Structure 1
């Protein structure tokens, strides 16, 4: 038998191995490539061109909100944008931790069905989430307003943004921010654009009344370098922060109203349903009643006015007014309303007995145009001298709108019941003819440049807040993120000469409602028996210099 040389055998073995196909490495889930880029899923329009199709996309996790009391998913973004500025590079995957637990910075491949859910393009259901390394996405510097092209993307807002709404801060962890300062009602002052940019900042949670709250802020506070992913839900874009927001207290609480001078101080305050009847419009129980009363008394003592016009007091034969007097002490008395009407609420006047004396009987009007009849009382300083007359009003509100007719919302920004408020203003003017030095006060439910206010001004009355309060501070109410002045003080020509100052004490509209007297939603530790959030309207304070004898 012939034996081959050892070197020849080795060469033959190597040759055979080279000719044998190599076994491929075992395939992994990360080897399954994406079928589309995220930008292709998003498309350039409001809805995805691939809606209803199952796709596989690749990206880096930018925001992790997978817990069941959060958004039940995460945001991912392509770190290499395409060339079309109209397409978003981000996407939301509706995938809880049970599908795959991810964290920010993970590079993932996600398989799921393209769905439009309440205006948001997302993958739902998700059938696979594969973590295939790490990556990084830089937050895109951005300016308001936000647009569809950055939906689901990681954004940062380097410019200062101002808190302009906090109604749902306690209930849903939401705060609304604006660029260039707080936003105002377009019908409150000239030059306000009809559409103003704002950004709703959410807390990434679906829980109502969350145990962990965002910072308690006032409207007018501000923040810079806010960073998060831009989602959409409940009819608006909402930024889900990916790092804590550092708010600056650029609108600190005013411990006392600004000085108004004069020798007589007159205030006007909407009490937000001061009812001693429990379970009606105001307090639900005895504890809430006690808390509400403490806050109202703190506000009244802080105003330290010689006469106060009150709105939204229970129409119950004077019992609610008397409860206020009892809590304030013996220094105040009340004017009995001769015709409070049949509405559940009425207007009232309280005054310091040592400073002012009523002149003549209180008057009102039985004109059917008034659902809450005005209260009219002339006063003079207790030592005698020039009299003045308080004309206290609470005009028809902007709510409970009719669906048709002249009082329906006409789309002009003045909401519904505007013709009725104009008629009420005209009726008030008709009451002034024989009144010495009238001062028209109250919640007129009309902003500064609306028809009812123009009607009173054209009738010879002058707005004292427009005269004395700087425009940035001239607001008393906050609605839907827009500030404006619903509460007014207007004086006749002669009395205007005696006005030494006017101010709006911002203790209510700037404060979130989670700080009010209610107990059902508000954490107990937040309540304080102080003037802040005693109501939802800010009180006004007027200074008069009335000569004596």
Structure 2
């Protein structure tokens, strides 16, 4: 069929219009007023914005919305047309409650500022919604290659496809935060696991809840069960922010943690005919409003949990740390409650002959039906000890080899009052390492003068630190190194890193009689809000069980003494 000139013109016009529409669809839409800067220019390639203090106008797509009054009071935008520089971030936080939705294309005008290390726009003078868009999360894997930092991703939408392990839950109840790490949990660099602080820092990431509220009514990752350190997640997705001196991910999708570290209802089997334990009680005080419970209710809750832990250990001899130094009052109260749970007269205690003047002291309880004290208890008046040791020999009730408990609590790593060689030497061992080494030398001398020594306690030193080396150099043998596999060899978590502060070292002769050793992980992996305190802890989480009875895990050994 022949077409008229008018018909041909109509077809050409329609085709041209369609072509224009296709070209327009292929190009990213823009807001009516052009941006005067790309987001990457605002972020820059350094830690601070090169435009800090200047008013800018940027265009981007909303990737995360945290505008509520109980949240961050702002939203994140990201440039759908990023620059070619991988060192500059294409995302930005906008401190504004102007209503927007994820996927909105917006034009934002505001002052570029650095707020606690985060580049953001604040105050904001205008937010105009002018379309929609979509931003796919950037795939990121920890640790970043080539020593790069997360600064290049600040404000951007990210997805971590790898398995990330919860390595600390300390701030979970207070701030809704959990620290995760690549390659499994993090260990203290001085604990002998081959890690360094730099490698640990490159492997970890703080995960927040998009809120500045303390003690949130809904604690993340507690339904249907409470998150434990050691649990893991895959596909973590959110926007990256910077707060309190570090990077943090604000999830945009719920993170689901697999139960890879289930709570151990009982300690692993250690064998032997005599069981010996060491346990830091985290300030068991019968005097209120000191270092332990503040109220009678808290004290009852604490006593209930400690009793459950000691009952679960079912040890014949237990060295205790952080018991109130008020004569026999605190230790007797603990023994009395324990005997109510396991049977009258099951346990008794050794009176400390020289407990020192510190608010806390070490204690020793035992089952008289299983072991008998051999001779009087001893201690040391050496002024090097802040909390003098308790030394007591025992014989199995039914006959067998005598052994000697040496219960310790070395000087802590806190730096208050540290001078000279006790100051932090920058070697990862923190303050008062020189004091702890001197204490270890004194304990080594004590151990050399008794039969079959078993040195136990909170040494406030990790396995590869000088005080522990001093003890092993004196001929004592660490038992958890013999029987506990490396990934389970920890008793305490500090700053997201696990380590072994609680030790059990035997003389060589006694070491041959150790049938097993374990660390019962009932405390260090548990969130703080499960403990006995009533402040900040939602009441629905308290259980009268052993979990979070302290902040240290107890150590348990089996001895074959017949």
TM-score by length of 1: 0.93
Q: Are 1:61 and 1:103, in contact at CA under 8 Å, matched by a contact in 2? A: yes
CA distance in 2 between partners of 1:362 and 1:454 (Å): 27
1:419-453 deviations in Å (ceiling 9; x for gaps): 10011011111112331111000000000000000
Matched, 1:446 2:461: yes
What residue number does 1:538 align with? 553
Matched, 1:323 2:326: no
Aligned residue among 136, 140, 145 for 1:138: 136
What residue number does 2:168 align with? 165
Aligned residue among 206, 214, 217 for 2:212: 206
Q: CA deviation at 1:284?
A: 0.5
Q: CA deviation at 1:240?
A: 0.3
Aligned residue among 101, 109, 122 for 1:111: 109
CA distance in 1 between partners of 2:81 and 2:409 (Å): 59
Aligned residue among 524, 529, 534 for 2:544: 529
Structure in which a larger fraction of residues adopt helix = 2
1:413-424 pair list within 5 angstroms: 413-424=428-439
Matched, 1:475 2:487: no
CA distance in 2 between partners of 1:542 and 1:125 (Å): 61
Aligned residue among 120, 123, 127 for 1:122: 120
What residue number does 2:22 align with? none
Q: CA deviation at 1:299?
A: 0.3
Q: CA deviation at 1:403?
A: 5.5
Q: CA deviation at 1:30?
A: 4.6
Matched, 1:377 2:392: yes
1:401-416 pair list within 5 angstroms: 401-402=416-417, 404-416=419-431
What residue number does 1:194 align with? 197
Aligned residues: 516
Q: Are 2:193 and 2:486, in contact at CA under 8 Å, matched by a contact in 1? A: no
What residue number does 2:15 align with? none
CA distance in 2 between partners of 1:522 and 1:85 (Å): 43
What RMSD over aligned residues (CA atoms) do the two structures have, in Å?
Answer: 1.1
1:325-363 deviations in Å (ceiling 9; x for gaps): 111112100000000000000000000111111111000
Q: CA deviation at 1:190?
A: 4.5
Q: CA deviation at 1:264?
A: 0.2
1:204-243 pair list within 5 angstroms: 204-215=210-221, 216-243=226-253
Q: Are 1:218 and 1:511, in contact at CA under 8 Å, matched by a contact in 2? A: yes
Matched, 1:50 2:60: no
What residue number does 1:102 align with? 100
What residue number does 1:4 align with? none
CA distance in 1 between partners of 2:186 and 2:500 (Å): 13
What residue number does 2:470 align with? 455
| 2:372 partner SS | strand
Q: Are 2:319 and 2:456, in contact at CA under 8 Å, matched by a contact in 1? A: yes
CA distance in 2 between partners of 1:316 and 1:341 (Å): 11
TM-score by length of 2: 0.91
Q: Are 1:503 and 1:542, in contact at CA under 8 Å, matched by a contact in 2? A: yes
1:265-344 pair list within 5 angstroms: 265-329=275-339, 330=344, 331-344=346-359
What residue number does 1:22 align with? none
Q: Are 1:231 and 1:239, in contact at CA under 8 Å, matched by a contact in 2? A: yes
| 1:69 partner SS | coil
- Deviating beyond 6 angstroms after TM superposition, the runs of 4 or more aligned structure 1 residues are none
Matched, 1:248 2:258: yes
CA distance in 2 between partners of 1:277 and 1:451 (Å): 35
1:162-208 deviations in Å (ceiling 9; x for gaps): 00111110000010000000000010014212211200000011110
Q: CA deviation at 1:384?
A: 2.2
Q: Are 2:91 and 2:155, in contact at CA under 8 Å, matched by a contact in 1? A: yes
What residue number does 1:39 align with? 40
What residue number does 1:61 align with? 62
Q: Are 2:187 and 2:193, in contact at CA under 8 Å, matched by a contact in 1? A: no
Q: Are 1:401 and 1:417, in contact at CA under 8 Å, matched by a contact in 2? A: no
**Structure 1 runs not aligned, ≥5 long:** 1-28
CA distance in 1 between partners of 2:247 and 2:213 (Å): 18
**Structure 2 runs not aligned, ≥5 long:** 1-29, 144-148
| 1:362 partner SS | coil
Q: Are 1:402 and 1:416, in contact at CA under 8 Å, matched by a contact in 2? A: no
Question: Looking at CA atoms only, which structure, 1 or 2, has the larger radius of gyration?
Answer: 1
